[in-house]
């Protein structure tokens, strides 16, 4: 049984290795520069797999704005990392036959940053702001009139020398992306004409994404192999594509093949400590800790015991464990289900 000999709060509890998790949906540096991944981005709504309801709403909005020769309404996309928000922003610009300028809220520090961005836009262009919930107040206030009336209201000088100046902007479409809808202020949220949630993907949809990408990188996957990989990708295309790239590394370097079977996937993922359920060392360490405690356990105690941040455990580790029926959040603390206990008891990892 994979049990770590420690009690809650025991400082001797082994620390979690702080390495990049393959099953974390946040983007990693390698992926920002990957040409293959950029090529894999679908360019039209038709090529974009899944999210049918979202696609049909966007189709109508895009066609209506082309018909009226007006810019598309501002769009807010929300959902977990890696589900395709950036991809959709590029794709919408492509469908509108225009350009997409891309930035992220933490990069817009001073008012002159957002003023520069807005003044640099051309008529009809798309401005994509990722992590829009992190905009500072001044930037957000400047955006209000820019979004509503395509106008910048600037106040210059101080006290008695204060002057107001209005600058007209080209008509543009703002696409904001966030993983935290609740952190966006109501006035900003209200200025988006379209607000859409991006859902997790089904196994079939992920399988399709995997098959398309494997063709692009010259891998030969059979049906069983692609479905197997889809099942452990946590409903997230970014994770699916990342796992596939790691499987390719293993296949080409260790086995010297481009033909991928289920067996090869198992071996490859094992070498990265990912098991048949798609759980990695951190998931197992988390489950072991609660199993060891044998009682409902508070999140803060788990975080202290594992030497990690409680919000990371809450938002990154727990959702998938709950989704696959291994974990329950109860008023008395986190508890393993029978399924979760059975799973962790069958593991022999040496943490
Ligand atoms: P987000 O902005 O939500 O974090 P991205 O748009 O960067 O996610 O998508 C992550 C990766 O997954 C990209 O490499 C993208 O090409 C791929 N991807 C996302 N959604 C889809 C989809 N529906 N079809 C194909 N590939 C997708």
Q: Is 179 a catalytic residue?
A: yes
The separation between the first and the last C-alpha atoms of the chain, rounded to the nearest angstrom, is 12
d(CA 304, CA 291): 16
Whether 39 maps to a domain, the answer reads no
Looking at the fold, whether 179 and 210 belong to one and the same domain comes out as no
Q: What is the CATH number of the domain that holds 156?
A: 3.40.50.300
- C-alpha dihedral (307, 308, 314, 315), degrees to nearest 10: -160
Query: Which residue lies with its CA nearest to atom 19 of ligand 1?
Result: 84
The confidence score (pLDDT) of residue 41 equals 86
The two beta strands, 333-336 and 327-330, are: antiparallel
Looking at the fold, whether 286 and 255 belong to one and the same domain comes out as no
How far are the Cα atoms of 196, 278, 283, 287, 303 from residue 306, in angstroms, in the given order?
36, 20, 11, 11, 5
Looking at the fold, whether 260 and 285 belong to one and the same domain comes out as no
d(CA 209, CA 200): 13
| Ligand 1 centroid distance, CA of 48 (Å) | 9
Q: What is the CATH number of the domain that holds 326?
A: 1.10.10.10
Looking at the fold, whether 187 and 217 belong to one and the same domain comes out as no
Cβ atoms of 61 and 73 within 8 Å: the answer is yes
Q: Is 86 a catalytic residue?
A: yes
Q: What is the CATH number of the domain that holds 211?
A: 1.10.8.60
Asked if the model's pLDDT at residue 29 lies above 60, the reply is yes
Looking at the fold, whether 126 and 166 belong to one and the same domain comes out as yes
Task: Identify the CA nearest to 237 among candidates 87, 30, 33.
Answer: 87
The whole-number average pLDDT for the span 295-307 is 95
Looking at the fold, whether 163 and 190 belong to one and the same domain comes out as yes
Looking at the fold, whether 242 and 261 belong to one and the same domain comes out as yes
The whole-number average pLDDT for the span 260-277 is 93
Q: Which of 237, 239, 243, 245 to mutate to test the pocket of ligand 1 (most atoms within 8 A of CB)?
A: 237
Q: Under DSSP, is residue 308 helix (H, G, I), strand (E, B) or coil?
A: coil
Structural domain of residue 295, as residue ranges? 281-347
d(CA 127, CA 118): 8
Query: Which residue lies with its CA nearest to atom 9 of ligand 1?
Result: 84
How far are the Cα atoms of 178, 212, 215 from residue 39, in angstroms, in the given order?
24, 11, 12
**DSSP state at residue 59:** H
**DSSP state at residue 199:** P
Q: Is 266 a catalytic residue?
A: no
Determine the atom of ligand 1 nearest the C-alpha atom of 87: 6
Whether 32 maps to a domain, the answer reads no
The whole-number average pLDDT for the span 304-316 is 91
Whether 42 maps to a domain, the answer reads no
Among 169, 197, 225, where does a domain finish? 197
What percent of the chain has a predicted confidence (pLDDT) above 70?
A: 92
Looking at the fold, whether 55 and 171 belong to one and the same domain comes out as yes
Q: Under DSSP, is residue 76 helix (H, G, I), strand (E, B) or coil?
A: strand
Looking at the fold, whether 149 and 248 belong to one and the same domain comes out as no
Query: Which residue lies with its CA nearest to atom 15 of ligand 1?
Result: 41
Those residues whose C-beta lies under 8 Å from the C-beta of residue 185, and which sit 6 or more positions away, are 140
Looking at the fold, whether 317 and 214 belong to one and the same domain comes out as no
Report phi then psi at 347, rounded to 5. Answer: -90, 145
- Catalytic one of 179, 283, 308, 334: 179
The confidence score (pLDDT) of residue 18 equals 53
d(CA 351, CA 349): 6
Asked if the model's pLDDT at residue 5 lies above 70, the reply is no
Cβ atoms of 132 and 79 within 8 Å: the answer is no
Looking at the fold, whether 170 and 148 belong to one and the same domain comes out as yes
The whole-number average pLDDT for the span 50-72 is 96
Q: Is 160 a catalytic residue?
A: no
Whether 214 maps to a domain, the answer reads yes
Average pLDDT, the chain: 90
The structural domain count of the chain equals: 3
d(CA 211, CA 147): 40
Q: What is the pLDDT of residues 95-120, one digit of tens each?
A: 999 999 999 999 999 999 999 999 99
**DSSP state at residue 160:** G
Among 236, 271, 306, where does a domain finish? 271
The whole-number average pLDDT for the span 308-328 is 92
Q: Which residues surround ligand 1 with Cβ inside 6 Å?
A: 37, 40-42, 48-50, 81-87, 177, 209, 237-238, 241
Determine the atom of ligand 1 nearest the C-alpha atom of 237: 12
């Amino acid at each position: 049984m994979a049990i770590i000999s420690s009690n809650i709060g025991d400082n001797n509890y082994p620390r979690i290795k702080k390495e990049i998790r393959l099953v974390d949906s946040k983007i990693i540096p390698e992926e920002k520069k990957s040409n293959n991944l950029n090529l894999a981005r679908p360019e039209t709504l038709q090529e974009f797999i899944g999210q049918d309801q979202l696609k049909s709403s966007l189709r109508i909005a895009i066609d209506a704005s082309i018909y009226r020769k007006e810019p598309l309404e501002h769009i807010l996309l929300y959902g977990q990392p890696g589900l395709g928000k950036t991809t959709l922003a590029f794709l919408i610009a492509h469908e509108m036959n225009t350009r997409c300028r891309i930035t992220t809220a933490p990069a817009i520090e001073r008012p002159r940053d957002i003023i520069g961005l807005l003044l640099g836009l051309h008529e009809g262009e798309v401005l994509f702001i990722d992590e829009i919930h992190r905009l500072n107040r001044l930037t957000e206030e400047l955006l209000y009139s820019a979004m509503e009336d395509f106008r910048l209201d600037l106040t210059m000088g101080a006290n008695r020398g204060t002057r107001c100046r209005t600058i007209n902007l080209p008509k543009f479409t703002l696409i904001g992306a966030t993983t935290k809808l609740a952190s966006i202020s109501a006035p900003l949220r209200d200025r988006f004409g379209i607000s859409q949630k991006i859902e997790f993907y089904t196994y079939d949809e992920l399988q399709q994404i995997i098959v398309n990408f494997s063709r692009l990188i010259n891998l030969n996957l059979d049906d069983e192999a692609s479905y197997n990989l889809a099942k452990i990708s946590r409903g997230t295309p970014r994770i699916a594509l990342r796992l596939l790239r790691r499987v390719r590394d293993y296949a080409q370097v260790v086995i010297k093949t481009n033909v991928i079977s289920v067996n090869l996937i198992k071996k490859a993922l094992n070498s990265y400590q990912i098991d048949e359920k798609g759980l990695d060392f951190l998931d197992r360490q988390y489950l072991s800790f609660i199993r060891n405690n044998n009682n409902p356990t508070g999140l803060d105690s788990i975080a202290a015991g594992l030497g990690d941040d409680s919000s990371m455990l809450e938002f990154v580790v727990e959702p998938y464990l709950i989704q696959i029926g291994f974990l329950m959040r109860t008023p008395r603390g986190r508890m393993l289900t029978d399924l979760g206990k059975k799973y962790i008891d069958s593991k022999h990892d040496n943490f």
